[in-house]
Amino acid sequence: MTAIAVHQFAHCITCHAWSPDHSMVAFCPNNNEVHIYKSLQDNWERVHVLQKHDQLISGIDWSVRSNRIVTASHDRNSYVWNLEGSEWVPTLVILRLNRAALCVQWSPKENKFAVGSGAKTVCICYYEQENNWWVSKLIRKRHDSSVTNVAWHPNNLLLATTSTDGKCRIFSTFIKGVDTKDSKAGTFSDSKFGELIVQLDLSFSWAFGVKWSASGNTLAYAGHNSMIYFVDEVGPSPLAQSVAFRDLPLRDILFVSERMVIGVGFDCHPMAFAADERGIWSFVRFLGEKKTASGSKYGSQFSEAFGKLYGQPRQGVGNDSVESSRLRGCVHENCINCIVPLKEPGGRGSTIKRFSTSGLDGKVVIWDLEGQDDLSQYL
């Protein structure tokens, strides 16, 4: 079992983020608040409650260098929280949205952050010292539906997005006066703000959980059709691979190395995907105890589903399904909707051996890949 700690913080958790030293965790308990817990003598105690939003908080990100928290909510607003003394003070963000904000992420240099929304737009926000607020520039008329996830390229200029229109897109976010032209960014530093670099039409269903590898050479995202997509050499002629799996769809993913991705979603189990020496990606296994996949089991599952369709009592069916889930050794008991890396403080390596997940069961689970012999070759 790779789960080394399980914390039941709430009945349901929408999203979570860690402080730079991992001593505190911030999460939304499926409402309009952010609860911050701190580890004190092997116990977790609630030390702050951030109250400013009016509706469900859909995204949280905690910056590593500046120790600032950014939140996004269905109330169409976003706030940047700064720790002043012992209190977290919110700073207004001008988003100019007419639909819910769905996701948020700091850029690698933490001088910008991106907010995806249900208004088919992406807000790139930066700080204006004169007015003491965060303003935004909008990437408009590029998406045909809600923007579900955003991911920054390591060069701080490119931004990848996924949408419920089934497409993954990569944009330039260069802002004059905020960004500097970097030779390492290549030709992308000459791109205008909002310029569409590439559009990937690999999925025919909703797309979620886009992420870049640490080097920025590989992009991955998940489809609601139980597929995950890997793209190399992002540009005019990208190289793409599609991996189909027989289990439930993913909601979020994480690169733990250049050759390994962890996916989480509706199956309640983290799933490991890896690339071999030829660069061919495939599903490896579930983390934690594997689910049994014998023929008799599938037969019983069919019988159970058939019984549900034709009038078994709801209460009995619910109890059976929960019990079978526990028998399979699930750590999470409901959909996992968020996965966050736990990098060593001050560490510079690109390999991530610890990460945390949170889900609709209200748990935050810490996982450790150390000692997993069959996975160590990919780290």
Query: What token pair was written down for 331?
Result: 């750590």
Identify the pLDDT of residue 312: 44
CA–CA dist 18, 30 (Å, integer): 17
What domains are there in the chain, each with its CATH number? 1-32+214-379 (no CATH), 52-165+167-200 (2.130.10.10)
Identify the pLDDT of residue 238: 84
Q: What is the 3-state secondary structure (H, E, C) of the chain?
A: CCEEEEEECCCCCCEEEECCCCCEEEEECCCCEEEEEEEECCEEEEEEEEECCCCCEEEEEECCCCCCEEEEECCCCEEEEEEECCEEEEEEECCCCCCCEEEEEECCCCCEEEEEECCCCEEEEEEECCCCEEEEEEECCCCCCCEEEEEECCCCCEEEEEECCCCEEEEECCCECCECCCHHHHHHHHCCCCCEEEEECCCCCCEEEEEECCCCCEEEEEECCCEEEEEECCCCCCEEEEEECCCCCEEEEEEEECCEEEEEECCCCCEEEEECCCCCEEEEEECCCCCCCCHHHHHHHHHHHHHHHCCCCHHHHHHHHHHHHHHCCCCCCCCEEEEEECCCCCCCCCCCCEEEEEECCCEEEEEECCCCHHHHCCC
Identify the pLDDT of residue 349: 66
**Cβ within 8 Å of residue 8, ≥6 positions away:** 362, 363
CA–CA dist 279, 144 (Å, integer): 32
Q: What is the mean pLDDT of each run of 10 residues along the chain (379 residues)?
A: 89 97 97 96 93 97 97 97 96 93 97 97 94 92 96 96 97 92 64 93 94 96 97 85 96 97 95 95 85 43 46 41 48 96 74 96 95 89
